[in-house]
C-alpha cells in the first residue's frame, strides 16, 4: 500500500442541521483512523438517536477503506451522495453520518439524494478541515559526548515528540516527517558516521 505523505481531514466532531419539507437532516462528521473505530461511533449514534428514521453514512480512510450505507433509503440516494461530498472536499480518515427524522412528506428520489448531499456538504464546509502530515519514528543510540552533534542534527529537520532514555548509552526516539527520512539518514552519515546508531521504525503517526 502506498504511504500518503499528507492528507486533509477534520479537526474535530462537528454537527449541522438541515430541514427539507418537514424532514430534519442532522449531519455529523467525526475524525477516525480505521473502520473498527467508525463502527463504534455508528453504534453510539444509533443508540443516541434511536428514534430517527435513518442513519446513513460514508467513511473514507487513508488506507483506501471506503464504506457507505443508505440504511433503508432508496439505493443511491443517501450513502453514495454523502460519499460524493466527502470526495468533493478530498478529506480522509472521516466518518460522515446524516441522521434523518422523516417529516411526513416523501421527497422523491432526486430531491432526497440532493438533501443528503446538501446536508453532508454543509457539514464539511462548516467544519474545521486541517492537513495532517505523516511522520515516521526513528531511534538514535549514542554515547553522551555526541549529544551536541545529535541535537544539531535534529535541529535541521522537522522533529516531533522527542523522548530521551538514559541507560549505559543515550537513546533518543522521535518522529520525523516521512519526506525527510532519507535526507536525515544521509545527513547523519555525513555528520556522525558510525558514532551514532540509527534505527528506522515501522511506526507511522499522523500529526
Q: How far is CA 103 from CA 19, 24, 27, 34, 75, in A?
A: 9, 7, 16, 34, 20
CB atoms within 10 A of CB 25: 25
- Of 107, 127, 147, the one marking the end of a domain is 127
Q: For residue 87, is it within any domain?
A: yes
Confidence bin at 199 (pLDDT 50/70/90): very high
Measured CA to CA, the distance from residue 86 to residue 157 in angstroms comes to: 33
Instruction: Supply the pLDDT for residue 125.
Output: 98
Confidence bin at 120 (pLDDT 50/70/90): very high
Instruction: Supply the pLDDT for residue 1.
Output: 52
Instruction: Supply the pLDDT for residue 194.
Output: 86
Measured CA to CA, the distance from residue 42 to residue 65 in angstroms comes to: 16
Mean pLDDT, residues 15-38:
96
Whether the per-residue pLDDT at 2 is higher than 80: the answer is no
Confidence bin at 162 (pLDDT 50/70/90): very high
Indicate if 50 and 101 belong to the same structural domain. Answer: yes
Q: For residue 171, is it within any domain?
A: yes
C-alpha cell at 65: 477503506
Indicate if 137 and 156 belong to the same structural domain. Answer: yes
- Give residue for cell 488506507: 63
Whether the per-residue pLDDT at 198 is higher than 60: the answer is yes
Q: For residue 190, is it within any domain?
A: yes
Domain range holding 165? 133-206
Q: For residue 151, is it within any domain?
A: yes
Indicate if 84 and 12 belong to the same structural domain. Answer: yes
- Per the structure, the count of domains in the chain is 2
Mean pLDDT, residues 158-178:
90
Q: For residue 56, is it within any domain?
A: yes
- Give residue for cell 424532514: 23
Query: What average pLDDT does the structure give for the chain?
Result: 94
Indicate if 12 and 96 belong to the same structural domain. Answer: yes
Indicate if 25 and 82 belong to the same structural domain. Answer: yes
Q: For residue 59, is it within any domain?
A: yes
- Of 100, 127, 154, the one marking the end of a domain is 127
**pLDDT, tens only, 68-102:** 999 999 999 999 999 999 999 999 999 999 999 99
Whether the per-residue pLDDT at 63 is higher than 90: the answer is no
Confidence bin at 153 (pLDDT 50/70/90): very high
Indicate if 139 and 181 belong to the same structural domain. Answer: yes
Confidence bin at 168 (pLDDT 50/70/90): confident
Q: For residue 1, is it within any domain?
A: no
Amino acid at each position: 500500500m502506498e504511504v500518503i505523505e499528507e492528507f486533509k481531514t477534520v479537526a474535530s466532531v462537528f454537527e449541522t442541521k438541515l430541514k427539507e419539507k418537514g424532514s430534519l437532516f442532522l449531519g455529523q462528521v467525526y475524525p477516525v483512523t480505521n473502520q473498527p473505530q467508525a463502527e463504534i461511533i455508528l453504534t453510539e449514534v444509533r443508540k443516541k438517536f434511536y428514534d430517527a428514521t435513518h442513519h446513513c453514512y460514508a467513511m473514507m480512510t487513508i488506507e483506501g477503506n471506503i464504506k457507505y450505507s443508505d440504511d433503508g433509503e432508496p439505493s443511491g440516494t443517501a450513502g453514495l451522495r454523502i460519499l460524493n461530498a466527502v470526495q468533493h472536499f478530498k478529506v480522509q480518515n472521516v466518518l460522515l453520518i446524516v441522521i434523518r427524522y422523516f417529516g411526513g412528506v416523501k421527497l422523491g428520489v432526486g430531491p432526497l439524494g440532493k438533501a443528503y448531499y446538501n446536508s453532508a456538504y454543509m457539514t464539511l464546509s462548516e467544519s474545521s478541515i486541517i492537513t495532517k502530515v505523516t511522520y515516521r519514528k526513528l531511534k538514535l543510540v549514542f554515547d553522551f559526548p555526541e549529544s551536541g552533534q545529535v541535537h544539531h542534527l535534529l535541529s535541521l529537520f522537522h522533529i516531533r515528540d522527542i523522548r530521551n532514555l538514559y541507560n549505559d548509552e543515550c537513546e533518543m526516539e522521535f518522529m520525523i516527517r516521512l519526506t525527510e527520512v532519507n535526507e536525515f539518514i544521509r545527513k547523519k552519515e555525513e555528520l556522525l558516521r558510525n558514532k551514532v546508531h540509527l534505527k528506522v521504525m515501522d511506526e507511522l503517526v499522523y500529526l
